[in-house]
Amino acid sequence: MLEGQEDVQGAEVAWRKGMDFGPGRLASVAAFQLGGLLAKQGDVQGAKDAYRKAIDSGPANIAVAAGNDLGLLLKRQGDVQGANKVWREALKKGLDSDQ
């Protein structure tokens, strides 16, 4: 909501607070959303860190979405190997959850 109202700072603070809920769905969704916000703002390292937290701490569907976005970010930076590694990792996490 804050991001939609162009309160980028407020949205960033809110997503960071959401990440404090520990491992699980809420924290991983907050990390994923923060990654997208930071990527839009040009904070590439912050976005990478947030997406990585979403991949590592969340349920498979969030991990897959975060892995996709992180992979795209890495690819845009010219790190095709890194992108492929992240995409494979996220896909594996998604496939493992289906079993």
Q: What is the pLDDT of residues 33-80, one digit of tens each?
A: 999 999 999 999 999 999 999 998 878 899 999 999 999 999 999 999
Name which residue leads in pLDDT, 63 or 15: 63
Q: Record the tokens describing residue 82, joined without a space.
A: 């890194």
Q: Do residues 37 and 71 touch, judged by C-beta distance below 8 A?
A: no
Q: Check: CATH 3.40.50.1000 for 8-98?
A: no
Query: Given a cut of 70, is residue 2 above it in pLDDT?
Result: no
The domain spans of the chain are: 8-98
Name which residue leads in pLDDT, 7 or 51: 51
Name which residue leads in pLDDT, 31 or 21: 31
Q: What is the mean pLDDT of residues 19-38?
A: 84
Comparing C-alpha atoms, which of 82, 60, 62, 57 is closest to residue 71?
82
Q: What pTM, to 2 d.p., does this model score?
A: 0.82
